[in-house]
Every structure is written in structure tokens, then in C-alpha cells.
Amino acid sequence: MRALVTGCRGQLGRALRARIEQGRCPDEWLGAEVDWVDLPDLDISDARAVEAWFGVHGYDAVINCAAMTNVDGCETDFAAAFAANALGPMNLARACAACGATLVHVSTDYVFPGNEEGARTEADVPAPISAYGRSKLAGEGLALAANPRTHVARTAWLYGDGRNFVATMLRLGATHDQVTVVDDQLGNPTSADDLAGELLRIALTDLYGIWHCTNEGTCSWADFAEEAFRVAGVPCEVRRCTSEQWKQINPASADRPHFSSLENARLKETIGNTMRPWQEALRDYLSNRTPEEA
């Protein structure tokens, strides 16, 4: 296996590297020769740079973890968001098509508007309400159109080795008696390690197209914070607020979907869904955090 992983310094990229290097991966990935790249090694939004890179490297699979994920920042700089989240995947897909490689592109639950209760499946129609969501939806379409061997894996509320919601809550909980967290946005907290394992499986199938890939179960951000505090033994109270109240406190924040929970329907119907309940994955994450992370 010859593979490229972009965005390798992010929490998902690091999780993929740990999976492969520790042998916690499908047999086909054991001993894989992987190029791990991030900025400034390769700017995927630069078509010429991507073409030049692929001109001297050949791959069987490419997993794209590179993205502009600052949801509020995407509102103020849509050009940068579109370059990273739409043009970048398109450039990679074109390069993959030229060399016959499979592309696994990671997308988001924020492609949905969140105005309907319940979990969204791959068959539901996206209609993003934020610049981030619009840029990611554009990236999905451009990648799928540019390479028939493309998988789009939508995930949500990701946490792992790096900056994330859980780490932020625990940092605040260590110095505050109370934190305010939104309670009317519902989704799926997802372990980067669990997602990495599933992406490696998806990369091996020829059932190309869109996948939903999150840990099982739905909660609010406030529920998520409370569970993190409970498991970590942090005596911090969660003060619940609405999205409207949060917007009044943080007027520059982008709109988020109220109901962005995803259903791993296609996994269950095809190669099997190995994603665990979110509470179990969170417990593992908290028990395995290093002193540096804590």
C-alpha cells in the first residue's frame, strides 16, 4: 500500500498515523508506505503544487484530513474557506483520478441545515447554513465529480490528540466552578481514533460515494461537557443556554445546526458499522490522555 495523508498534524491525521504505526489497522494497511504531509509541505488548494507533488509520487490511496475547520473564521474569510475546503479536495481528486488512486475525503455534519429533528442519513438533502458548511459541501461535490474512486466520509464533533471541545472544557473546568454551554444543538461526539479506524476500512472498499461516520448516540454540547466532567472527576457545573443566548454573548459566532446528528446507515448496510457509543469512546479518550494533554 502506498498512501498519502494530508493534514497529518491535525487530530485526525495524528490518529491515522498512530493506527497504522501501531498496527491497529486492517491487514492491507500493515507495512504501508505513507507520506504524511501538512502545510507548508503541500498546499492542497494550489493546483500546480498538487500536480507537481503527484508527478513524483504514486499512490493507491489518499486520505484528505486537511481543512479550514474554524467555523467562525470561515464566515469572515470565505475565500480562504473555499480554497481549503472545496478547491483542495477537487485538486486531490483530479490528481487521484490521473494515477488511479482512491480518495477518502473527510466532510462534516454541518452540510445539513439542522432544522429537522432526528438523525440524517446519506440520502438526506444537504442545505448548509454557515460558510463552513457551504465550503465543505462544495468540496464534496467537486471531489466526487473529479474522481469516480472517491469516498466522502461525513463526521461530527471530533475530538482527539490536539485542540478540541473536551480538552477546552477540562481546561476551563480546572479553573472555573461553572461553564456556560449550548444545550439546543444536538449531534454525535466522535473519537478521532475511532474515526481513523473506520476510514482505513472505507478506503479499501470500492463502494464509492458518501458515508456517515460518527460514534453512536446523540447529545447536546451541554450533555457532552457534563459527561466529560463526570468521567474526569472535575467538579464543574454546566450552565445550559440556548443558541440565541450564546449569539447574544458572542455576536460574531456563525450559525450552527440545531439537529446535526448523523446516522451511519450506509456502514450498517454494507461493510458494517464498528463505531462505538460516544460515551464509551469518551471514557477511553479520557483514560488514555497523556500528562501533556491534561
Domains and CATH numbers, the chain: 2-164+189-218+260-277 (3.40.50.720)
Question: How does residue 21 score in pLDDT terms, banded at 50, 70 and 90?
Answer: very high
**8 A C-beta contact, residue 84 and residue 132:** no
Query: Rounded to an integer, what is the distance from CA 80 to the centroid of its chain?
Result: 18
Q: Where in the sequence numbering do the catalytic residues fall?
A: 132
Which pLDDT belongs to residue 291? Answer: 54
pTM passes above 0.85 = yes
Cα–Cα distance, 44 to 50 (Å, whole number) = 6
Query: What mean pLDDT is reported for the chain?
Result: 96
Helix, strand, coil % in the chain, rounded to nearest 5:
45, 20, 40
Mean pLDDT across 162-170: 96
* Gap between the Cα atoms of 21 and 14, Å rounded: 10
Residues 34-52 pLDDT 10s: 999 999 999 999 999 999 9
Q: How far apart are CA 58 and CA 54, in angstroms?
A: 6
Mean pLDDT of 167-178: 97
What is the rounded average pLDDT of the residues 148-158? 98
